[in-house]
């Protein structure tokens, strides 16, 4: 399973956006069934930013569904076709 840890990038909006975009396209092209994005628990602001990114119309077309892991709210699972 591919994984992206956003902890080192949490302060730079441009780096976060770029890392997310590259990761989603790479996971989609690699044929991964599931990929995880780790925004961490914290205040939830980074998680909200990641979910907003994933909900963009042009990004939404790349994956089937996404969910916040019920056992670990600091982890988002993205399911591909």
Strand-strand pairing, 34-38 and 65-68: unpaired
Which DSSP string corresponds to 27-71? HHHHT-SEEEEE--STTSHHHHHHHHHHTSHHHHTT-SEEEE-TT
What pLDDT is attached to residue 21? 97
15-63 pLDDT tens trace: 999 999 999 999 999 999 999 999 998 889 999 999 999 999 999 999 9
Does residue 81 have a pLDDT over 90? Answer: no
Which pLDDT does position 1 carry in this prediction?
92
Name all contacts of 50-53 with Cβ < 8 Å and 24+ positions apart. 50/6, 50/16, 50/20, 50/76, 51/76, 53/17, 53/20, 53/21
Chosen CATH of 2-79 out of 3.30.470.20, 3.30.1370.110, 3.40.50.720, 3.40.50.1820: 3.30.1370.110
The count of other CB atoms within 10 Å of the CB of residue 72 is 12
pTM here? 0.92
Residue boundaries of the structural domains of the chain:
2-79
């Amino acid at each position: 399973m591919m994984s992206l840890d956003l902890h080192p990038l949490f302060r730079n909006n441009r780096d976060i956006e770029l890392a997310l975009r590259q990761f989603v396209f790479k996971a989609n092209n690699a044929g991964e069934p599931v990929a995880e994005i780790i925004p961490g628990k914290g205040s939830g602001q980074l998680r909200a930013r990641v979910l907003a990114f994933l909900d963009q119309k042009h990004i939404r077309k790349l994956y089937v569904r996404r969910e916040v892991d019920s056992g670990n709210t600091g982890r988002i699972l993205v399911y591909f076709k």
